Amino acid sequence: MAFLDDVKKFGKNISDKGKDAIETAKLNSQINAETDKIKEMFTKIGEQVFAAYTAGNEKGYGESCAQIAESEAKIKELKNKVLEIKDEASCPKCGLEVGKDVAFCPKCGEKLQATKTAAADPAPKPTPSKPKSKN
pLDDT tens digit string along 55-74?
777 676 677 777 888 999 99
- Judged against a pLDDT cut of 90, whether residue 6 lies above it is answered with no
Rounded to a whole number, what is the largest CA-CA distance in the chain?
90
pLDDT tens digit string along 93-135?
998 999 989 999 999 999 988 654 433 444 444 444 444 545 4
Residue 2 CA to residue 122 CA, distance in Å, equals 37
pTM: 0.53
Helical pair 2-55 and 62-86, crossing angle rounded to 10 deg: 170
- Judged against a pLDDT cut of 60, whether residue 21 lies above it is answered with yes
What are the boundaries of each domain within the chain? 2-86, 88-120
